[in-house]
Amino acid sequence: MSSYFNPLIGVKKDNHLQLEIKNMSSNRDHSLFSIGPVSKASLLIVIFAGLYYFMTGSTEYIDSSSTYEEETYTETQGGGSISSKNGANNYLPTSTTNQVIQHQYYTMSYSEEHEQPEWVAYELKQEQFQRKGVGRSDNFRPDPKVKTRSAYPSDYKRSGYDRGHLVPAGDMNFDKTAMSETFFMSNMSPQIRNFNGGIWRELEENTREWAKKYKHLYVVTGPVLTVNSIDEIGRNQVSVPRTYYKVLLDLTKPETKAIGFILDNKVSDKHLSNFAVTVDEVESLTGIDFFHELLSPEEEEALESQVDIGRWKFSEKRFRQRVKSWNKR
């Protein structure tokens, strides 16, 4: 993003915009010694803001209209696999952004240029759905683990786009912390309302049903950032993706299988199976290599080069419900 930070107003400005400042020194009425106490306080705030900028080199818009509880995490930067308390996450894709961030229940590769992840990855297990579900936390907030700072809730305000979850809240309702982590703004991507609540919702719900049926899935989801975005929103210039993908891998024997989906960010009345593709096709579109450490070259070839729709049961009831009502919210 081409931008600079203006310490006088504390927001990110586009390089093509010009800020006109009157020469106040030539007007005695605007001298430092003739302004009132409120104006003096405002001037001091401006001065300290400028000093903060030069000391920190910050170039990100900070939402001063809201306050957020500070959270402390151990951050992991760079590509490749990350070790967790549950062992090595060797199912992670490659990262093209050099900012891989591990939360307790999922990992992401964050793109500062687009203010959203190029992928989120996690495991979805049958046992997670056997626990009593927790309610949505709806505590949308910036992600303190994003070193370059994430988007803010205000970026989406009056934009006309939904804050679309990449890790769905419904996938993480087995634990309060897991649920809360899905509401980091780093997990959001601007989605057209009836796409988010339509075919995207249907894919998420089908994925949960497949996890229950097949016992365990590796899930990778993200926007396609290699094609031109539809738009940008907010002061942090969050990209509005044109297309999204989801990749699923089932290694539960005897029926191991993989499937990919590529969907445009728009309403659709087509059957979800029409958007099923091979994992290789998603890799070609995104430039991301999936499961390269988890699978041997022979397994990758066998699983990622083909997709058998018949091995994934699609809910016809959800499809009819989406066309009849979800698409018309």
Structure tokens at 324: 């009849």
Structure tokens at 257: 């299988």
Nearest to 149, CA basis, from 98, 189, 178, 184: 184
**Gap between the Cα atoms of 70 and 261, Å rounded:** 36
Taking each helix axis from N to C end, the angle separating 316-324 and 199-214, rounded to the nearest 10 degrees, works out to 160
The three-point CA angle 238-268-223 to 5° equals: 30
Q: Which one-letter amino acid corresponds to residue 302?
A: A
Structure tokens at 15: 């390089």
> Is 114 an annotated catalytic residue?
no
The three-point CA angle 58-64-70 to 5° equals: 80
Residues 6+ apart with CB under 8 A from 178: 104, 105, 172
CA 182 to chain centre: 9
**Gap between the Cα atoms of 140 and 164, Å rounded:** 11
Annotated catalytic residue within 114, 165, 271, 292: 165
Q: Which residues are catalytic?
A: 165
